[in-house]
C-alpha cells in the first residue's frame, strides 16, 4: 500500500489534515501521541508497518491534531473539547457513523472525552500508553513531577532527547522481524 491521499476536514475555522485507508468492516479512528504528521508516517518503516497492519482489518482514520503536522496552526491554546471535536469532524468528512476510538499517549484523553460526549458514535475505546494526568500526585506516584516533565519537554524541543533515544542495530533488527502470533 502506498501513502494514502491526504484530505482536510473543517473543525470550526481549523482545517484538519487526515487520511482514511483500509477496507475493513469497522472504522478505527487512530488518535496519535504528541506531534504527528500524516504524510511522514509513511516514511517511518515501523509506523507504516503498524498502519498497514491496522488497515488489513479495519478502515483507519488518522489525522494531524490541530497545530501539528499538516493541520492548520492555531494561535491560541485550544480547549480539550475543541481538540476532541476534530475527531467528529474527520468522521463526518469520511461518512463514518461509528468508529472504535483509539488514543495513543496524549491522544487518550481526547479519545475518552469523545467516547463520553458521543457514545452513539463510539463502537469501542482503546487506550494505548495513555494516562489520566501528566504529573505526579498521591494517587499516581510513579508519574514524573512537573519539573521533570518540563525538563523532558525541553529536551524534546532542543533535540537532545531524540538523539538519546536512537535505536540500536539490535532493536532495528527486531523491528524488521515479522511479528509472532501468540
Q: What pLDDT tens digit does each residue of the chain (182 aa) get?
A: 678 999 999 999 999 999 999 988 999 999 988 778 999 999 999 999 999 999 999 999 999 998 888 999 887 767 888 889 999 999 999 999 999 999 998 889 899 999 999 999 999 999 998 877 777 888 888 888 888 877 776 655 554 444 434 444 444 444 454 444 43
Q: Would you say residue 2 lies in a domain?
A: no
Q: Given this model, what pLDDT does residue 161 score? A: 42
Q: Would you say residue 63 lies in a domain?
A: yes
Closest CA to 51 of 28, 85, 71, 34: 28
- Count CB-CB contacts under 10 A for residue 19: 23
Residue 149 and residue 72 share a domain: no
Q: Would you say residue 1 lies in a domain?
A: no
Residue-by-residue DSSP string for 42-92 = GGSHHHHHHHHHHHTTSEEEEEPPTTSTTSPP-SSPPPHHHHHHHHHHHHH
Q: Would you say residue 57 lies in a domain?
A: yes
Residue 111 and residue 77 share a domain: yes
Residue 96 and residue 51 share a domain: yes
Residue 142 and residue 122 share a domain: no
Residue 110 and residue 124 share a domain: yes
Q: Given this model, what pLDDT does residue 75 score? A: 76
Question: Helices then strands (H, E): number in the chain?
Answer: 6, 6
How many domains are contained in the chain?
A: 2
Q: Would you say residue 46 lies in a domain?
A: yes
pTM over 0.85: no
Q: Given this model, what pLDDT does residue 151 score? A: 77
Q: Would you say residue 162 lies in a domain?
A: yes
Residue 84 and residue 44 share a domain: yes
E strand residue ranges, 105-175: 122-128
Residue 104 and residue 43 share a domain: yes
Residues paired with 20 in a beta bridge: 61
The residues, any chain, with a CB within 8 Å of residue 60's CB and separated by 6 or more, are: 19, 20, 21, 22, 28, 30, 51, 54
> Residue 162's domain spans which residues?
135-177
How far apart are the C-alpha atoms of 125 and 23, rounded to whole Å? 20
Q: Residue 17 belongs to a domain with what CATH number?
A: 3.40.50.1820
Amino acid at each position: 500500500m502506498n501513502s494514502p491521499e491526504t484530505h482536510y476536514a473543517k473543525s470550526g475555522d481549523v482545517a484538519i489534515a487526515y487520511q482514511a485507508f483500509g477496507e475493513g468492516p469497522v472504522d478505527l479512528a487512530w488518535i496519535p501521541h504528541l506531534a504527528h504528521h500524516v504524510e511522514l508516517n509513511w516514511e517511518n518503516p515501523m509506523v507504516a508497518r503498524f498502519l498497514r497492519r491496522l488497515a488489513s482489518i479495519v478502515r483507519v482514520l488518522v489525522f494531524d491534531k490541530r497545530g501539528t503536522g499538516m493541520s492548520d496552526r492555531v494561535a491560541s491554546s485550544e480547549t480539550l473539547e475543541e481538540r476532541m471535536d476534530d475527531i467528529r469532524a474527520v468522521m463526518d468528512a469520511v461518512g463514518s457513523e461509528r468508529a472504535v476510538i483509539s488514543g495513543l499517549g496524549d491522544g487518550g484523553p481526547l479519545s475518552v472525552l469523545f467516547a463520553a460526549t458521543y457514545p452513539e458514535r463510539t463502537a469501542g475505546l482503546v487506550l494505548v500508553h495513555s494516562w489520566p494526568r501528566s504529573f505526579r500526585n498521591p494517587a499516581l506516584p510513579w508519574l514524573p513531577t512537573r519539573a521533570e516533565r518540563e525538563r523532558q519537554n525541553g529536551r524534546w524541543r532542543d533535540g537532545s532527547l531524540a538523539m538519546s533515544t536512537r535505536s540500536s542495530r539490535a532493536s532495528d533488527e527486531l523491528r524488521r522481524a515479522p511479528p509472532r502470533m501468540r
